[in-house]
A and B are shown apart, each in its own frame.
Chain A
Amino acid sequence: KAGVTQTPRYLIKTRGQQVTLSCSPISGHRSVSWYQQTPGQGLQFLFEYFSETQRNKGNFPGRFSGRQFSNSRSEMNVSTLELGDSALYLCASSRDRVVEGLFFGEGSRLTVL
């Protein structure tokens, strides 16, 4: 069974640009969550989608947005990039409740120069 796939794995952007990251969940998983990992803050929750609807959102500015498609694939977008957005962005999928465990992808490493 294929795991969670994230693309691209690595990318470099400059301040002010925007970026789109993609996530394909495990087949049959309808919930997709996004987390930002930085050395000082650990994993910070961005948002979660279930059946194309955003069910939950973390405390990030509106520059961070996402969506989910009918096939459960998800994208997240960051506009007007800032240096502080440099981080590992992790996507995770699950059937529904997180009590079954979130299954993470390998992440997309974003560097903002």
Chain B
Amino acid sequence: DQQVKQNSPSLSVQEGRISILNCDYTNSMFDYFLWYKKYPAEGPTFLISISSIKDKNEDGRFTVFLNKSAKHLSLHIVPSQPGDSAVYFCAADRGSTLGRLYFGRGTQLTVWP
């Protein structure tokens, strides 16, 4: 059962524009959400996170928005840069399941000049 879903397998954006990556979840017990970035031949790298008690968290060019009523979160990258081209994974944490994250299948972001 895929409790975290990323319905867009790929996204292509021009350099300088905004990239919006979306993620939906089904389990209302999730209380923390994270985004990871993965380059080929490397492990995923933690990018940004948000607690369920907030609706927005910002870190430089990266902002994550959480809409709990819609069970939806999104990652905004502004402005997008070619170096941002990678696979982005959305992940969720259920407080009672220590050490486990539920991952989406990822979205391949391509930023072109």
Nearest-Cβ distance from residue B36 to partner chain A, whole angstroms: 8
Q: Who on chain A is nearest to B31 by CB? A: A99
* With A48-B100, A50-B99, A94-B99: A105-B106 Cβ-Cβ less than 8 Å: no
Task: Say yes or no: B105 contacts A41, CB within 8 Å.
Answer: yes
- Contact segment of B43-51, B54-62, B63-71, B76-84: B43-51
A113 within 8 A of B: no
Whether A104 lies near B45 (C-beta < 8 A) is yes
Q: Does A84 contact B (CB under 8 A)?
A: no
Please report the C-alpha to C-alpha distance between residue A106 and residue B45 in the assembled complex, in whole angstroms. 10
A64 within 8 A of B: no
Partner of B101, one of A4, A41, A102: A102
Which residue of B46, B51, B89, B98 is within 8 Å of A101 (Cβ)? B46
Q: Mark B69-113, 1 if CB is under 8 A from A, else 0.
A: 000000000000000000001010100011111111110000000
- Chain A interface SS verdict (over half): strand
CB pair A99 B32 closer than 8 Å: yes
Contact between B43 and A48 (Cβ–Cβ < 8 Å)? no
State the CA gap A104–B105 with chains docked (Å).
Answer: 17
Q: Is B21 an interface residue (CB 8 A)?
A: no
For residue B53, CB closer than 8 A to chain A, the reply is no
Q: Which residues of A contact B100 (CB under 8 A)?
A: 33, 45, 48, 56, 58, 98
Take A43-B103, A107-B43 as given contacts and tell me if A56 and B34 are in contact as well, using a CB distance cutoff of 8 Å.
Answer: no
Residues of chain B within 8 A of A102, CB atoms compared: 44, 46, 101
Which 7 pairs of residues, A with B, have the shortest CB-CB distance? A48-B99, A104-B43, A42-B105, A101-B46, A43-B103, A104-B44, A106-B43
Known A35-B103, A42-B89; further 5 A-B contacts with Cβ < 8 A: A48-B100, A58-B100, A92-B43, A101-B46, A106-B42
Q: List 22 A-B contacts (CB under 8 A).
A: A31-B98, A33-B101, A42-B103, A42-B104, A42-B105, A42-B106, A43-B44, A43-B91, A45-B101, A48-B100, A50-B99, A56-B98, A90-B44, A94-B99, A96-B98, A97-B98, A98-B34, A99-B49, A99-B51, A102-B46, A104-B44, A107-B43
